[in-house]
Structures are given as structure tokens and as C-alpha cells.
Copies of this chain bind each other. A is one copy, B any other.
Amino acid sequence: MIIGTVRGDIVSTIQHPFYNGRRMLVVEKENFEGKPSGYIIAIDGGVGAGVGDRVLIVDEGTGARQIIGDPKVPLRSIIVGVIDHIETGA
């Protein structure tokens, strides 16, 4: 799983019916030091993520479809949590 910060929404009028009414979020991934490292487009898996939230993403189709509850969905990346903070050290 990977971490990133929500930066925006994708607006798309022509698309596969599955995506109608679903928010497609642009998430900027971060590296170990918390710096930007590319992006990924993900759907909110029911956690209500908004712009600025630091989120946990599962980037794997089968797992993503389990959350949606439909095994026939064209999907790969889904937000499964909003991160409060990371605790480090022994």
C-alpha cells in the first residue's frame, strides 16, 4: 500500500458508466521523507477523503473491487484510510 495527499478531483463527462457519480481523486504520492513522488488517480473507498487529506491507498484491482462490492468493475486504485500521523522510533 502507498501514502499520498489528495490534490484535486478529475472532471470527466465521457466515461465508463461505472465512474458516473463517483469521485475520482488526484493523489500526489510521497516518498519516505514525505516529499512528492508522482501521482495516482484513486476512487474514495468510503472514507470521505478531501483535498489536503493524507491518505492510504491500495493499488491492486481485486482488493479495490472488494471494497466496491462488484467483481466486474474496471478499477485498480482505492483510498482505504485517512492518516492521522505516523509514529516512528522503537
Contact = CB atoms under 8 A, between A and B. Distances in A.
Nearest to A47: B14
Contacts of A39: 3, 31-32
In the complex, the count of this chain's copies comes to 5
Given A11-B87, A85-B11, A87-B11, A76 B63 contact: yes
Contacts of A72: 66
Interface of A: 1-3, 7-16, 18-19, 24, 26, 28, 31-32, 36-42, 45-48, 50-52, 56, 58-67, 72-78, 80-90
A58 to B, nearest CB: 5
Enumerate the 5 nearest inter-chain pairs by beta-carbon distance, A residue then B residue, closest first.
A15-B81, A8-B88, A63-B74, A1-B41, A60-B61
